[in-house]
Structure 1
Amino acid sequence: MDKSLSALNGMKTPDAPVGATIMLEDVFPFSLHQIAAWPDTMAKAGAVAAKQIGCASAPDPGHAMIGSAGALLRVEPLKWWLISPDPDVAPPKIADTQGAALDLSHSRTWIRVSGDKSETLLNHFLPLDLRDGAFPPGSVASTAFHHVGITLWREEAGYSLLVPRSFAVSLWELLVETATQYGIAVR
């Protein structure tokens, strides 16, 4: 099997200035599995997905739950994404009558944005109110970044953007270019 590479592999990044207020990170490798259910099987499929990551229950729409093996994001009314920085997390075993699991690991690029000015940076691009009262940690939203559909997840330490792999380089370049005015460090 070929060794997979991040879509951002080899991207040039600016030197980190002293006092950088934004940290960008290409989280790679990782695993991403979509779990879909039908309206009458939501509870059962959600329980299977929650158990897979070590949570007591599945999150409501627009929210995330963090467990010992990763996080479970409710990205749509009938869908969750199970995401983990561990690339070897297996998809949940869901009975055909309850739902379906699909590996999306190679379809997305995971970009983490943190630091004092991360909200300011993202507000250049996202049509969302990212203040704590409107989008607190644990929130998930499907939104658009420069006309590209992405999933945004607010973690305790910052924001995670799950962007389509084919748009990762251009969106990364926009983030880097815009963040340079605030001071940027890249991990």
Structure 2
Amino acid sequence: MADQVTALRAYHDPGGKAPGSGRPGPVGVSLREVSGFSLTQIACWPDTLTEAGAMAARVAGCDAAPGPGQVVTGARGRLLRVEPLKWWLIREAGSPAFADMPAALGAALDLSSARVWVRVEGTEARRLLNHFLPLDLRPDAFPPDRVASTAFHHVGITLWRSGEAFELALPRSFAASLWELLVDSARQYGLVTGEATYASEDGEE
């Protein structure tokens, strides 16, 4: 796979503070672009759901594929059930290519360059996201290892929880404008920005 070219590099400040980073005192929001990952979409037919899910789970090193709206992490990757007949497989960049799927079973598509991954953390992360997302993000309604498709400023995105962080997969062509919206709104809570890598923070070494 070709090296990923980050879509937001020009927006990262080496010092970690976004320009005009907001109120003094404790930082309430951390925004980071995550790089160094591969993203494969695995789609199947209704009558091949079990077989395709088992194939995806084997590649990720999971005991079983996740159910609708769920995320599971295995020894070699993470599986997100983003739609009834679709999973996303997230692995470290440079992982072996996903095996060709017979057309009768389904289809696998590399989306690594089509999505930008942004991690939102901090005590005010949920409050920030609820300025934009029509979802109940309280812990009892959207706990870790849940995933949802939703709209952010009329743009379709995918959101999941990993621990205390919210992970956003943004369409690449809208990533810069959505990042600017997040930054502008997060300043009121105190903000730091930066970068992270899948291998160091999300890889299943």
TM-score over 0.5 (shorter chain)? yes
Q: Confirm or deny: 8 A CA contact 1:48 1:92 kept in the other structure.
A: no
Counterpart selection for 1:63 from 55, 61, 70: 70
- 1: CA distance between counterparts of 2:173 and 2:37? 17
Percent identical residues: 54
TM-score (norm 1): 0.93
Cα 1:137/1:119, change in 2 over 3 Å: same
TM-score (norm 2): 0.85
**Residue identity in the other structure for 1:88:** G
Counterpart selection for 1:113 from 92, 108, 120: 120
Moved over 4 A (4+): 15-18
Partner of 1:11: 11
Q: Confirm or deny: 8 A CA contact 2:46 2:85 kept in the other structure.
A: yes
Partner of 1:152: 159
For structure 2, list consecutive stretches of 5 or more residues without a partner in the other structure.
195-205
Partner of 1:179: 186
**More deviation, 163-172/92-101:** 92-101
Q: Size of the alignment, in residue pairs?
A: 186
- 1: CA distance between counterparts of 2:142 and 2:3? 37
Higher relative contact order (CA 8 A, sep 6+): 2
SS in 2 for 1:128: coil
**More deviation, 16-25/62-71:** 16-25
Question: Is 1:131 the counterpart of 2:131 in the alignment?
Answer: no
- 2: CA distance between counterparts of 1:26 and 1:12? 9
Cα 1:3/1:71, change in 2 over 3 Å: closer
**Residue identity in the other structure for 1:6:** T
